[in-house]
Amino acid sequence: MPFELRTHTADIAVEATGPTLGATFAAVADGLAAAMCDAIPDDGDRFEVTVSAESREALLFDYLDRLIYERDVRNVLPTDNEASVEAGDGDWRVDASARGVPLSAVTAREIKAVTYSEMAVGETEKGWRAYVVFDV
């Protein structure tokens, strides 16, 4: 499992690693899904999202915020996330997809928002690492 849920005062944090930045973003997103739901069924249709931002941290924040938005609008739990991250001329972009499990098929806890509190995104000797705190 490329992510780990961490206890955090009144919130929940996800620490994730991956061989690429995109894999790490997807692992954080899978951690978000795991924080919302213990058992995830196999149903649901894939949907795509594209997000751009001025930095890696802002991109991760906006990507996760978009998944929470998609949860609320589509009434789905975004899981089995896949992501590809690219740096451009002064901006960053993530092209991603997720399997949207209908919220009616799960018992989900509410994650209100992603936060910048303690957020970290960085390269390691083995790939990438990200740490994100979510407001519950």
**pLDDT by residue (tens digit) across 70-126?**
999 999 999 999 999 999 888 999 999 999 999 999 988 889 999 998 999 999 999
State the sign of the Cα–Cα–Cα–Cα dihedral 94, 87, 126, 115. Answer: negative
Find residue 92's DSSP bridge partners: 53, 87
Q: What is the C-alpha separation between 26 and 84, in angstroms, rounded?
A: 8
Q: Is 77 helix (H, G, I), strand (E, B) or coil?
A: strand
Say if pTM beats, i.e. exceeds, 0.75: yes
| Number of neighbours of residue 135 by Cβ within 10 angstroms | 14
